[in-house]
Structure 1
């Protein structure tokens, strides 16, 4: 197979997924635009949004790459199964890393807002980060594992699929779960209620 044939094949596999990724990114922007009230109610929330979205991409992109490598090397069977010890370990590591880094981002974000001399509720930011991190972690894990294994079984390169799927799903699900988490935190009375994020 020539270099050109490999490039054309990769382009054909990735183009539909990248198109969906672009549409998903636009939808995520619409969700963020609709979070004005929550961003005002929880000072510092806008500061941590990029960090929390980046965490989703990095952690679950790594999960996709790890599973794809295990499939290519024949270390796991090409069927979706959490019965496999390696798959279970990769999923558990991804979710726990996602939660730990979300907590870290919320704590650092609170500290940075305080350094700017503004009022902040660290508990509100931590609540949003952990609630959104847990829900989006479960959804992203399901999406990544399904896409990698189903794509591999259908003869597609899981490496070409995992990145765009994680990017799109991470942005859309990440912002949707942050909106839900922010509303939950506000309803529980944990928000600082200051002006501006």
Structure 2
């Protein structure tokens, strides 16, 4: 891989620099004469073994890291679940307590409103009873006043009619005397 990068960087493309491309049976580059270069073969084996070893080490590290992450996430998931469950219980208890408090407040308010309405009803009843008595007395007094006024008016009318009757009688008598004479 290093040789490929170097070759590409320098824009050189030679088969003897790039492993696994010449088509030889073992995948190594052959020089003129068809035999693999021992130095290149040894280097290739060494690099391959190092890369294989490094690949195994990286794989094991990643596998171990994956296990650690998995365990950590599982532990975190359990912790979060327990926290949420605890929070849910706390919220439920708080809501239940709040519900009881609101119920008691509403019950107390209902009692207070009931007592206030009962007291107001008594007050209104007493006020209406007192007003009824006052109206009755006022009407009775007005009835007496009207009766007295009508009686006085009746006397006045009677006297006026009596006086008018006397005047008419005298006028008729005077007219009769004028027509028939005093002795008729």
TM-score tier by shorter-chain length is under 0.3
Structure number with greater CO (CA < 8 Å, separation at least 6) is: 1
Higher-Rg structure is 2
TM-score normalised according to structure 1 size? 0.23
TM-score normalised according to structure 2 size? 0.25
